Every structure is written in C-alpha cells, then in structure tokens.
Structure 1
Amino acid sequence: MNRLQKANEYIQQNKAKVSSRPYYHFSPEIGWMNDPNGFIFYQGYYHLFYQYNPYDVVWDSMHWGHAKTKDFVNWEYLPVALANDKAYDTHGCFSGSAIEKDGKLYLIYTGHIDPNIGFDRDESEISERQCVAFSSDGVHFEKYPLNPVIGEKQLPEGYLICDFRDPKVLEVDGTYYCVLSVRNAERRGEIIMFKSKDLLDWEFHSSIFQTKFEDNTLLECPDLFELDGKYVLIFSEMPCDPEFSEQIQNKTSYVIGEMDFEKGVFKPEKKELLDHGQTFYAPQTTEGQNGERLLISWMHRWHQTTPPREYGFNGMMSIPRQLTIKNGDLQQRPFIDRGSNFDLSVLHENVVVEEQLEIPGKEAGYLKLALADDAQKFTIELNKNETKSTRVEVDAANNKLVILSDYGSKEPIVLENCFGAPGSEKTLEFYLDLHSVELFVNADEKVVSFTAYDQNKGTDISITGSGAVLKEVRYETFRG
C-alpha cells in the first residue's frame, strides 16, 4: 500500500472518533492541520488544500489535505491530494499554491528533506526544493517526473536551501511568476521571485523584499496579488533563530506598493499587520468566482496548549475574508452568507446600558454592536460561565480595545486607534464559534482573531457599562 492510500484509508477508518470540531470554521476530518495551500476557484468550487498529518494531533511529516465548497460553510472532504512519497519530498510536502493552466489544475509545493524531521535541526542535512503536481479532475494528482523544478540550480548564491519554501504562483501577461520565502546568508528573511513560461522550467528573476538585519525575522508563506490598482505582498513573520523567540512574535503583515514585473522590482509604500490577534498565520488568497480577492488563514495559538487529545483533531481556518483597499489601507470583510446560515435571536435598538445587559448565547453565533457617537467605556463578556469569560474592554473615547481571557493565553491583546476619526462609524462584529472569536472593527478596518480549545467554555454574553449608549445590539445564532 502506498502512502497516499494508507492516509486515505486511515481517515475513513478513524474519522468517526473525532469530536468537538468547530461549527463553521473549517477543520480537518481528523488529525493535525496547519497552513492553507492551493486555495483556488476551479471547476465551480472553491478548493482548499492544507498542510496535514492525518495520524496524530501534532505536526509531523506533511501531506496535503483537500476539501471543496461553494459557500465556505458546507464542505466536501476529498481524498488526500499529496503524500510525501518521493525522494525529493520524503520528509514532507510543504506549503505551496495552485493555478489553472489549459484546464488542468497545477500544484506547486515545497519538497522537504530533513532526516531529523525538525526535532534536532541540522541545517547541513536540510533541503527544500519546489515541485509540481497536476490533475485533470482536480482530485487525483500526478507528480511531475522531472521534479524538483526549482532547486540548487536556480537558486543564486547568497541564499540557504535549508529555508527555501512556500511557492505562490501568479500569471501576468502570459508569464508565470513565483514568489518564495528564503533565508539569506545573513540568516534573515527575504522574498525572491522566479519566472517561467510553462510552470515547469523556471529561472531566477529578482529579490523583491528584504528584511532588516536588526529585525531578526524569517519570512514565510508570501503572497503577491493586484488589488484596486496596487500590488499587495503578504507574508508571515517568525524569529529567524531560536535565540530571538522571546522578542519576535509570530505574526502576519501586508505591504502595499507598486510592482514592476519586467524589472522584478517591488516598491513598498505601506506596511501594517493583517490581523491584530495572536492566532492568525500563513494566510493565502485567491481570485473569487466574481473577481473578488479572497483570503483564508490558519488560526493557531503559538506556544500554547493543544486541544484535548480526545478531540482527535488540531487546527482550523479563519472564515474567508474579502479584501479591498480603502484610503491606502487593506480592508477585510467576512465572506460568508449570514442570511443563509444565521438566525436572528436578539435585537436591541438605542439601548442605554446602565448596569448589565444579558444575552443567552449558543456555541456558535454572531454579535454586532453599533456604538453611539458619545459612547464611552463598557465591557463585553463572551463565552461566559460562572467563573470565566473572554472580556473585551471598550474605551471608545480613547479609540482603544483590550481583550483579556480566562481561556487560552492570559496575555492581553491591545488595539489602539481602532475607531477612526470622531463622528465616524463605530461598530464591533464578533463571529463566535466553539473554539474561536473573530472581531471585525468598524465593518472592515481592523480584525482581531482569538482561539482557545478549553473544554466547557460558557456560551452566554453580557455587556456592562455606566450609561453606555448602543444604537444596536444584534445577536444571531448559527443555524447548522
């Protein structure tokens, strides 16, 4: 039995043992999941591939899991697309992307070789090279016989092949470009670009983004796309070496700028955080069915406890977000149909919160608060039970939010300048699921993600204030 058959048979035989999966955030049928890969609209469906270890709830040698959907709520799990069954990917099929060419679906991914599987890192024994697989039906994939297609031959001097991964492909005017993350000779992160006419023969083009030495960061999972007349470069940041792990937090950033493909030059104009929480990493985007730019991300709390082993799974994705650029900033809106999936449960209009407003909640739902212009301070408690909750302390007058939780991490999340100029719209929208909260501030201006796998979290919601005026308090329960 080959590794692909083994993985698929194991899933079918054991998936019924899994419990406590989120209601509308995508999660694996069983086992461990991390980075989204190959996110694409193909043959009438959104396809999502993902880093996957079906055999345990911890990271190990990576496969590519696969599912498809039309609405991002109802998913059809498909057979595992890739297994690490070749000499060039024997220790993992690492992250990559998908693109359609001549009706076929092409996957380009990183073949990972590390005899120690990352547990005793010896860079002299590690190599990462880029490989291709393709499919006519979008389900069954054949690896290119001449893999890898980008390796030592194409990688210039001054870069280390031990950290050379995460290819994201795009096509511009008949030429394919691939952005990749790499560690340079100074041991810092850099994003470089290759080009090809056929997705198989590649040549180095340029370096498009470099970190500063003093930033002490390594970059992962780059994504480059055009949006509203600009180009956006997204990447995740991590410590470049273990000694910097206390000062560098894993996070995801975006840079808006101009891209000259002929010269291979990216000119950054503005860099910001993509998500202000502590659980948002390795996002990937695609062009939607109607030309939208959609993003989905792995929601993971670094250096924290994993879910209880009896759950049988570990990992989930964010809800998809539609991206736009407004006033020079990247805007993000939830891209799921609430009308088809949520039912109105509670609605208060023009309410003055003198002491406490109680809302009986469910394990999955949606909460919206619209603040009056003169709203001051109040506190929202989510997942509330007798002794614990996740608290969102709102100081509207000073444009500040602080999130504190008795679940998961005890480290506060502080969001400054969150409500914009005086007189502007002030809204808070919470997408609540069994193990997560995604908060969208002012409709689309800033987003905060939070996860916690604690058992027996509460479901109730309360709002406490001293005369806080709310134009609307709206709670909807998830229908599924």
Structure 2
Amino acid sequence: MNRLQKANDYIKENKHKTNNRPLFHFSPEIGWINDPNGFSFYKGKYQLFYQYYPYDIVWNDMHWGHATTNDFVNWEYLPVAMANDKAYDANGCFSGSAIEKDGKLYLIYTGHIDPNLGFDKDESQIAERQCVAVSEDGIHFKKSKLNPVIGEKELPDGYLICDFRDPKVLERDGEYYCVLAVRNAKRRGEIIMFQSKDLLQWSFHSSIFQMPCKENTLLECPDLFHLDGKDILIFSEMPCDPEFDGEVEKKTSYVIGHMDFENGAFNPEAKGLLDYATFYAPQTTDGQNGERLLIGWMHRWTKATPPKEYGYNGMMSLPRKLHIKNNTLIQQAYISHDDYFTPVAVHEHVSLNEDLHIESGRTGYLSLSLLSKSGSFVVELNKKETTATRVSVDPSSNSVVITSDYGDSEPITVRDCFNNEENTLEFYVDLHSIEIFVNKGEKVATFTAYEKEKGTSIVLSGKGAQLKEVRYEAFSS
C-alpha cells in the first residue's frame, strides 16, 4: 500500500477517536498539525493545506493535509494531498504554497531529506529542495517528473542546502516569483527570490532580506504580497543555532516597504511584530473579494500539549483580514458575527467599583470599549473558583499583560496599546485558545491552553476603571 493511501485509510478508520476539538478554530481530524500551507482561493472555495502527521500527536514525517471552507467555521476535510513517498521528499513534504495556473492548482513545497530524522542532526546529510505537484481538480495531486525544481544547481554559493525551505510563490506581470528562507554561510537567515515563467524552470533572482549576524536569527516561512500601495514581507524568526535558545525569541514579524521586482531589491520602511504570543508560520492569500487574508499556526513553543486522549494536537488561528494604517499592519478577525455569535449581554457606562460577572460558557466573543481616562482593570476569562486566564489592562503604562493558571506559559506583555481617544479590546474565546485584538487589530496576542475543565465565567474587576461598553456574544454553530 502506498503512503498516501495508508494515511487516508488510517484517518478514515480512526478519526472518530478524537475529542475536545475547538469549535471555531481549525484543527485536524486526527493527529498532529503545524504550518498552514497552500492557503488559496480555488474553484469557489478557500483551500487550506497544512503540515500533517495523522498517526500521532507529535511531529514526525510531514504529509500535506487538506481541507476547504467558505466561512472558516465549517470545514470539509479532503484526502491527504501529499505524502513523503519520493526519494527527494523521503523524510517529509515540508511547507510551501499554492497558485492557480491555466485552471490547475500548483503546489510548490520543500522536499526534506534527513536520514537521521529523530536522531542526532548531521547537517552534511540534510538537503532541502523545492518541488512541485499539480492538480486539475484541486483534490488529487501529481508530483512533477522534473522534481526537485530548485536545488543545488539553482542555489548560489554562500547558502546552505540543509536549511533552504518554505517556498511562497506569487505572480507579477506574467512572471512567477518565489521567496524562500535560507541559512547563509554565516549561519544566519536570509530571504532569497527565484524567478520562473512556467513554475517548473526556475533561476535565482536576488537576496531580498538579510538578518544581521549579531541577531543570531534564522528565518522561516516567508510571504511577500502587495497591500494598500505597499509591499509586505512576513517571516517567522527562530534561533539560528541551539546555543541561542532562550536568547532569541521565536516570533513572527512583518516588514512594510517596496519590492523592486526588476532589480530584485526589497526596500524596507517599517518593521513590526505580527503577534505577541502563540503564533507562527502564517500564510496569506487573496480572498474571494480581493481582501488579503492571513491564517497562522497557534503554538506556544512550550511543553504544554493536549492530553494524548484528545487524539489531535494543533490549531489554526482565526483568519485575519489585513490592511495598512500609519505604516502598521492591522489585523482584524475575519468571521461572521451575524452567523455565528449571539448577543447575550450589553453593559454601557460601566464603573468597576464592583466586579462585573458574565456567565459566558467556554466559547464566545467579548468586546470592551475603554474611556480615555480609564483606570487599570483585570479581565478574568474561563474563571472557575480561583483559576482563570487573566488579562491585566493598564492604560497608564500603556500595556496589556496576559497570565494564566492554565497551560504552561510565561506572562505575555503587549506594549504601546492605548494611543487613541477611545480604545478597544476584543477577545475570541474558544475551548483551547484566546485571541486578543487591541484597537481593532493594531496589536494582536494569542494564547493557548488545552485543559478540559476550564471555568465558564468572565469577571471584570478594577476600582475606578471606566468602560464605555462591555459586550458579550456566545458562539452558536
């Protein structure tokens, strides 16, 4: 039996064993997921592929899972799109992207070779090369006989084939471009660009972004797109070597600037942090109506994982609609409130001289409008007796701090939050996650914890705090 059929048969026979999956965040039918891949709109539906290992709740040989949706709440799980069944991807079909050409859907991904996978790493034996698979129906994919299409021959001197991955493909004026993360000879991260006319024959174009050597950073999962008259480059950051673990934070950043495709130069103007916490390897696509949408992997990089009896591990964020304001990337949750959230309580002109209690259940949406001179206060979510996830809001220090009795987490601090006359906080609470949007998406922080027995109350407390409005809506599928 081939690996693709084996994976699909296993899922069909065992998916009923999973439980406690989130209600409005994407999760796998069974097994492990990480990076979103091939995020695209094709044949009237949003396509989401993802790094996938169906057989356990830990990372292993990477397949590409596949699901489609029209609303990002209801998903149709499709057969696994790719398994690591070729010599050039024997140890994993790593991350990549999708693009439509001549009515066909092309996947471009990293074929990973590491004969010591799971044992001591030997860089001299690791190779990462870019490969293509094509589908006429968006479901069944055939790997190209030309694979790998970008490898040692196309990669210039000064770069290491052992860390050369995550192709994100785009089209400009009839030409195809692919941005890739790579480790250079100084062992630091760069983003380089390749060019093609047919998605199969590629040539090196340029290096468009480099991390300073002193920052000790490796880059992953680049994404380049045009929005509101600017070009935006997104990438995830991690330590370039194990010796810098703890010193270099794992995070996802964006750079706003201008991409000169002719000369292969990206000219940066501003840099920011995409999310302050549980978020990595996001990918964007043009939406059905031309909006730019982003989705990312919600992961804490800690030892906190779901219990094995859940049968799955990993979730995607809510999709986020992007736009630029004052050289800042704004992210707004892209989900229909009218269809999926039911108003439960609205409190206006709230003075928190006494605690405000809301019986919320375990999933829902909380919106707060702060008056400009409000004092500090605390929002306790999933409260049960003395346990909760606490969001401490302090306008005087311009910060939001997230701490929790759930999960395995350090405090999360979001700074420079309250610069407007009227400020807002929005909380999307699912069974295992909280996504917090400050001022309609100027800052975003994502928290995950997989405990089953969380509380079902929300409590706001803080002497002297002044809130213009407190609104709670329950999720209803």
The number of residues matched between the two structures is: 477
**Native 8 Å contact 2:72 2:335 kept in 1:** yes
Shift of 1:215: 0.4
Q: Which residue of 2 aligns with 1:462?
A: 459
Per-residue CA distance 1:258-295 (angstroms, 9 max, x = gap): 11001000011111100112x10000000001110000
Matches within 5 A, 1:416-455: 416-421=415-420, 423=421, 425-455=422-452
Shift of 1:305: 2.2
Aligned partner letter, 1:81: A
SS in 2 for 1:284: strand
2:307 pairs with 1:308 = yes
2:469 pairs with 1:472 = yes
Q: Which residue of 1 aligns with 2:62?
A: 62
- Partners of 2:111 and 2:123 lie apart in 1 by 15
Per-residue CA distance 1:167-200 (angstroms, 9 max, x = gap): 0000000000000000000000000000000000
Q: Which residue of 1 aligns with 2:186?
A: 186
Q: Which residue of 1 aligns with 2:414?
A: 415
Q: Which residue of 1 aligns with 2:88?
A: 88
Per-residue CA distance 1:390-417 (angstroms, 9 max, x = gap): 1111112331111111112341111111
Q: Which residue of 2 aligns with 1:200?
A: 200
Shift of 1:145: 0.8
- Partners of 2:97 and 2:55 lie apart in 1 by 24
- Partners of 1:260 and 1:417 lie apart in 2 by 32
- Partners of 2:302 and 2:350 lie apart in 1 by 41
SS in 2 for 1:39: strand
In structure 1, stretches of 5+ residues that fail to align are none
- Partners of 1:375 and 1:41 lie apart in 2 by 43
Per-residue CA distance 1:370-396 (angstroms, 9 max, x = gap): 111221111110011112111111112
**Native 8 Å contact 2:20 2:452 kept in 1:** no
Shift of 1:438: 0.3
SS in 1 for 2:407: coil
- Partners of 2:414 and 2:333 lie apart in 1 by 19
- Partners of 1:327 and 1:252 lie apart in 2 by 20
2:52 pairs with 1:52 = yes
Q: Which residue of 1 aligns with 2:160?
A: 160
Q: Which residue of 2 aligns with 1:225?
A: 225
Indicate the percent of aligned positions where both proteins have the same amino acid. Answer: 69
Q: Which residue of 2 aligns with 1:280?
A: 279
- Partners of 1:2 and 1:387 lie apart in 2 by 52
SS in 2 for 1:13: helix
In structure 2, stretches of 5+ residues that fail to align are none
Matches within 5 A, 1:291-440: 291-421=290-420, 423=421, 425-440=422-437
Per-residue CA distance 1:281-320 (angstroms, 9 max, x = gap): 0000000011100000000010322110000000000000
Shift of 1:454: 1.8
Shift of 1:469: 1.5
Shift of 1:118: 4.5
- Partners of 1:186 and 1:163 lie apart in 2 by 12
- Partners of 2:264 and 2:51 lie apart in 1 by 30
Shift of 1:142: 0.4
- Partners of 1:398 and 1:310 lie apart in 2 by 42
SS in 1 for 2:155: coil
Q: Which residue of 2 aligns with 1:238?
A: 238
- Partners of 1:283 and 1:41 lie apart in 2 by 16
SS in 2 for 1:306: coil
- Partners of 2:213 and 2:315 lie apart in 1 by 33
Shift of 1:467: 2.6
Q: Which residue of 1 aligns with 2:114?
A: 114
Aligned partner letter, 1:438: E
Shift of 1:468: 1.5
2:259 pairs with 1:259 = yes
Runs of 4+ in 1 over 2 A off after TM superposition: none
| TM-score of the superposed pair, with normalisation by structure 1 | 0.98
Per-residue CA distance 1:222-271 (angstroms, 9 max, x = gap): 00000111100000000000000011111000000111001000011111
**Native 8 Å contact 2:302 2:408 kept in 1:** no
Shift of 1:137: 0.3
Per-residue CA distance 1:191-210 (angstroms, 9 max, x = gap): 00000000000000000000
- Partners of 1:316 and 1:388 lie apart in 2 by 24
SS in 1 for 2:88: helix
Q: Which residue of 2 aligns with 1:33?
A: 33
- Partners of 1:281 and 1:198 lie apart in 2 by 30
Aligned partner letter, 1:440: F
- Partners of 2:415 and 2:13 lie apart in 1 by 49
Q: Which residue of 2 aligns with 1:269?
A: 269
**Native 8 Å contact 2:224 2:234 kept in 1:** yes
Aligned partner letter, 1:337: S
Aligned partner letter, 1:464: S
Once the two structures are overlaid, the 10-residue window that deviates more, 466-475 or 285-294, is 466-475
SS in 1 for 2:408: coil
Q: Which residue of 2 aligns with 1:250?
A: 250
**Native 8 Å contact 2:320 2:333 kept in 1:** yes
- Partners of 2:27 and 2:33 lie apart in 1 by 7
